[in-house]
Amino acid sequence: MSNVAARVAEQFDDAVQQRESATVGMWIFLATEVMFFGGMFLGYAVYRSSYPMVFGASSQRLDIVLGTLNTALLLTSSLTMAMAVHAAHSGKRRSLVGFLFATIVLGAGFLGIKFYEYFQKFEEHLVPGKGFVFEGADSRHAQLFFSFYFAMTGMHALHMVIGIVMMGVLIVFAMRGKFTAEYYNPVEMAGLYWHFVDIVWVFLFPLLYLVERS
Amino acid sequence: MNARESLEHQHYLNVSYGVKSWLLTRDHKRIALLYLISITLFFFLGGFFAVLIRLELLTPAGDFVQAETYNKLFTMHGLIMIFFFLIPSIPAVLGNFLIPLMIGARDLAFPRLNLLSWYIFIVGGIFTLTAVVTGGVDTGWTFYTPYSSTYSNSAVVLTALGVFVTGFSSILTGINFIVTVHKMRAPGMTWFRMPLFVWAHYATSIIFVLGTPVLAISIVLVGLERVFGIGIFDPKLGGDPLLFQHLFWFYSHPAVYIMILPAMGVISEVIPCFARKKIFGYNVVAFSSLAIAILGFLVWGHHMFVSGQSEFEGLIFSALSFMVAIPSAIKVFNWTATLYKGSISFHAPMLYALGFIGLFTVGGLTGLFLATLAVDVHVHDTYFIIAHFHYIMVGGAVMAYFAGIHFWWPKITGRMYPETWARLAALIVFVGFNLTFFPQFILGYLGMPRRYYAYPDEFQVLNVLSTAGASILGIGYLIPLVYLLWSLRYGRVAGTNPWHATGLEWRTDSPPSTENFEETPVVQEEAYAYDEVPEEVSLV
Amino acid sequence: MRVPLPFGRGCREAEGEGFTGLEDPSSGPSGHLLPEGEGRAKKIMWSELPLFPDRASTIAGETDALFFALIAISAFFATLIFFLIFFFSIRYRRRAGRPRAAQVNTSLLLELFWTGVPICITVGLFIFGAMVFMRVRQPPANALPIYVVGKQWMWKVQHPEGRREIDELHIPVGRPVKLVMASQDVIHDFFVPAFRVKQDVVPGRYTAMWFEATKKGEYHLFCSQYCGTQHSGMIGKVIAMEPRDFEAWLAGSTDETPVKAGEKLFSRFDCVNCHAANTRQRGPALEGAYGHPVRLQTGQTVLFDDNYIRESILNPMAQITEGYRPIMPTFQGQLNEEQIMELIAYIKSLTPQQSGKPNP
């Protein structure tokens, strides 16, 4: 177990303390992320309750096929992430790397589709700002909807990019043999982060894409 | 004098030299000093802006600076003092230095994150300073929309970026403190044996992690609105300016508890030591800190009684605001009761601490005026508010900061500061402070609005008194700068425990070694066990 | 209250019980501060040190009563704490040879006592404050409406009888006045210290405040929500006059009433094309609509009030009346806040009040 002891940082007494500290720390960090996204969710909720019709009409301009596809990709990536953590726990290095890679691919796929959607919206003049055009009712508040759409999905995408970079770093570490069945803390923490980002999308998708779709 | 009584033992300051050993340190004590130097620079910059403000207000006409300049001065004074001095001051300097020592740990849970916090703070500070030197920002520290998002012609985005970045410094510190308190306590150091200073920082950290992100998103949205013209807060684009106020104050009210809770933690350490007595009501004071942190999240609407929110909201926020005053009052009573039948001495830390109790009491009582709906309608956005928060922030938090700096100076540096000069400075600060800010209560009820650089003639006498006080206050703050620096070279060597205080930090060397303790201590006694300190031990 | 001091020359004394500060030559006619050297006194007004504002409205006395109650409570507790600290510091100061004191560290009774007493006090303050607040916020039904538009950096006042003012507000003594306020740009705040009331003026909506002056005089008007460069200059006077003088003053101008101005705008901007009586199928009838509920396309019901009218003019698609097509164009950018207020005044006038007089 000597190589395990070498991986306990100086300030900790033992590996258990280290692991528990990291876990508590990550959970608290996720709580801060909840508050961060929460501000935007609150703003969205306030405006949606004030202007339900135009928010419904705007939501229908989003591509529900792509949105659903993205949801599927992201949920699957959470599965592959969970499999990666499991592989780490079992000490299976190749599976770990494989599943991390799969997570990256799925995440990148999500981002690709997202940016394609953004491009589509740009073509349709639905990007808030000077070029915004919305035929029909209440274009002012439609712009509000799209402001929230871009701000919230954009912030979410940023978090995904960070997550993908983290996965990349983990792959490098894993290939260098840094993780063992006893020590795979960073993989677990990254998993928590990734699941959180997934959950944010699970809220974003119905709120943005599924308004007035009956 | 044994080896430990001189400064020739190896400690965290002399264990390594060179810029790299400081800029890449993981030692919480060195990081605390990095913060100390940074925030001191910001304090004097913010203070300089205050001097200019008070000089302008000597005369009723706007004749010292231009209107636009004045607006930038008060904005930057507020931003710098709040985000770059007050919020980090006690937690990032004293908290970082002392929390591991107080709980018997070798360091915080995440030392590298701690260093990252400081770098983030510096980056945020650089953004904001860049905004200052490239023309400044004039929105008021409160960034109300649509002025900040659409109308202002100043460096709003750059400043917002600076504040946004610095917020992460707070968040990481908060995470570090919470995990440290949960996971790194020495054997025998139960929750209820921890110093109240640690409790206070734990409560503060809850606010750090839950409140700061909301400020972050508010600022991001203002920035997006300004850069891309999207309309979230601009009524011409369908948005609501009040949404910004709700989001902003949701953080910024708890932020004031970020600024005062650590200060209360310092007082809870100083009073027992200089009264030679266990603190009165330990459990109650500990729980009061948590109560303040939690209730503090529920009162933000008291900044918005006349903003256009409904009467119903006003009633709710008023009631909750009264409630949050209660735990603070309880603490004041407990500190006062600690003095009863104590054995009191009046060294500088104690003078600052006693000053804190008095001035915080006044500041807190005037908070009741503001929670009272009908009175707040009259004094909102006047100098009454300015006086109120300066009593708490300056008469309270800054005095507690000075109390803490003086109290733990021997531990941090190994040297004593000159006591007579320190007492003199404390007195000057107390007098100057009251002369500066008491007249502002009167000005406020008379109706002088805040953020005015010119005012009706009849307000002049009170303004002149206030400026006179400010010059005295400024001197009071400069004196410690001089003698504290002096003491680094010429101060008397302090020894391990010059105050004969309880607390694990006083069981290590002064200054401590890098790993804090030779062996992890095992704690067997309650906090503030002053009844067990021998009678004949006298203070320096 | 004013404190005459023994030194200082050349400052005129203010009349009356309180200090209004406006009877001095250094302010221009509209209350603005004149720059240096233009006939203003440069010396400090040492002979006057105002300590308390003039009290000139019906609510001011109640606010002051609360204020004094708070001062009494604060003075009591502050004195108590200061006294105890001083007393304990002296009585229990460290002295050589003094035997160790008994250590008293907890007392549940004491904790309950000094928790309970503040709770009782704060509950009392809350109730008292809330009661006065509700009076501050609820204008009496017979309040005289006056329209105010705040813009960077001036106050524009429109009396319903026609007179307009800038940075000045003439009102009658002894009659409740309700200000209906809008902002042309950023958030401002209409503050009259002598009346003890203020209200933010928020762009995008109407806010209101009311007061009743109790004595004639000139009182400071301040903008008290930071609004940009000349925020300190957005000041003026509220001039309270005896009712007869006020009527005379009102009559002394040939300005158009807002109702008339609104009628002209209604025609000029072609509102008649859809909203006149015989074209009802295009747009909803406006006669008799003001103050009544409106059923929207979404099924919601809203009140046909000032804010509804304003929203309909600027963003007609947001709240479409049931049974009508969404064909109303927006007038965003074509009408400023004053013009919108005039249109609202006109539309209000189309609905007679119960007593037969036009709506306030």
**Position A174 in a domain:** yes
pLDDT-based confidence at residue A133 (cuts at 50, 70, 90): confident
Mean pLDDT for B111-137 is: 96
The confidence score (pLDDT) of residue B537 equals 57
Instruction: Compute the mean pLDDT over every residue in chain B, rounded to the nearest whole number.
Output: 94
pLDDT, residue C46, reads 59
Domain residue limits at A113: 15-209
Contact C315 A138 (CB under 8 A): yes
User: Is 50 exceeded by the pLDDT of residue C5?
Assistant: no
pLDDT bin (cut points 50, 70, 90) of residue C101 is low
Residue B455 has pLDDT above 70, yes or no: yes
pLDDT tens track for B288-313: 999 999 999 999 999 999 999 999 99
The confidence score (pLDDT) of residue B7 equals: 67
Predicted pLDDT of residue C357: 44
Per DSSP bridges, beta strands C168-172 and C48-50 are unpaired
Residue B367: which of B337, B424, B324 has the closest Cα? B324
Give the DSSP letter string of B72-89: HHHHHHHHIIIIIIIHHI
Question: Is A1 within a domain?
Answer: no
Q: Average pLDDT of C58-69?
A: 96
Overall average pLDDT of the B498-521 stretch: 93
- Identify whether A28 is part of a domain: yes
Share of chain B above pLDDT 70, in %: 98
Q: What is the pLDDT of residue C356?
A: 42
Terminal alpha carbon distance of chain C: 37
Q: What is the pLDDT of residue B535?
A: 60
Residue B449 has pLDDT above 90, yes or no: yes
CB B440 within 8 A of CB B467: no
The predicted pLDDT at position A89 comes to: 92
| A2 pLDDT above the threshold of 50 | no
- Is residue C31 over pLDDT 50? no
Q: Are A214 and A104 in contact (CB under 8 A)?
A: no
Question: What pLDDT does residue B1 have?
Answer: 41
Return d(Cα B221, Cα B230) in angstroms, integer: 9
Examine residue B134 and state whether it is found in any structural domain, yes or no.
Answer: yes
Residue A20 sits in a domain of what CATH number?
1.20.120.80
CATH number of C53-91+139-254: 2.60.40.420
**Residue C13 confidence (pLDDT) above 70:** no
Distance, in Å, from the CA atom of A28 to the CA atom of C188, rounded to the nearest integer, reads 40
Number of domains chain B contains: 1
d(CA C223, CA C233): 8
**Position A6 in a domain:** no
Write out pLDDT tens, residues B204-247.
999 999 999 999 999 999 999 998 887 889 888 788 999 999 99
| Window 166-225 of C, Cβ < 8 Å to B | 185-187, 189, 191, 193-194, 196-200, 202-205, 207, 220, 222-225
Q: Is the pLDDT of residue C17 over 60?
A: no
Fold topology of C258-349: Cytochrome Bc1 Complex; Chain D, domain 2 (1.10.760)
Average pLDDT over residues C308-314: 90
Contacts of B105 in chain A (CB under 8 A): 11
Q: Which structure tokens are listed for B393?
A: 């922030």
B520 assigned to some structural domain: yes
Select the residue from C11, C186, C207 to test the B interface by mutation, using most B Cβ atoms within 10 A: C186
Residues 6+ apart with CB under 8 A from B472: B428, B431, B432, B435, B436
Q: List the single best residue of C205, C311, C312, C317 to mutate versus A (max A Cβ within 10 A).
A: C317
A31, part of any domain: yes
pLDDT of residue A52: 84
Q: Locate CATH 1.10.760.10 in chain C.
A: 258-349
**What's the total number of domains in chain A?**
1
Residue B21 counted as domain residue = no
Comparing CA positions, the residue from C154, C177, C342, C337 lying closest to residue C255 is C342
Confidence of residue B149 (pLDDT cuts 50, 70, 90): very high
Instruction: Report the pLDDT value the prediction gives residue C40, as an integer from 0 to 100.
Output: 41
Q: C44 pLDDT exceeds 70?
A: no
Residue A7: its pLDDT value, please?
Answer: 75
Predicted ipTM of the assembly: 0.92
**Residue C109 pLDDT exceeds 90:** yes
Higher confidence at residue A97 or residue C251?
Answer: A97
Provide the pLDDT for residue C332: 84
Cross-chain Cβ contact C326/A51 below 8 Å: no
- Confidence class of residue C297 from pLDDT cuts 50, 70 and 90? confident
Is residue A197 one of the residues assigned to a domain? yes
CB contact residues (below 8 A), chain C span 294-323, against chain B: 315
Confidence of residue B538 (pLDDT cuts 50, 70, 90): low
Q: Which of A11, A35, A141 sits opposite B214 (nearest CB)?
A: A35
Any bridge partners for residue C165, and if so which?
C157
pLDDT digits (tens, 9 = 90+) for C235-277: 999 999 999 999 999 888 778 888 999 999 999 998 888 887 6
C274 CB neighbour count, 10 Å cutoff: 16
Domain CATH for B434? 1.20.210.10
pLDDT over 90 at C319, yes or no: no
**pLDDT of the residue at A4:** 46
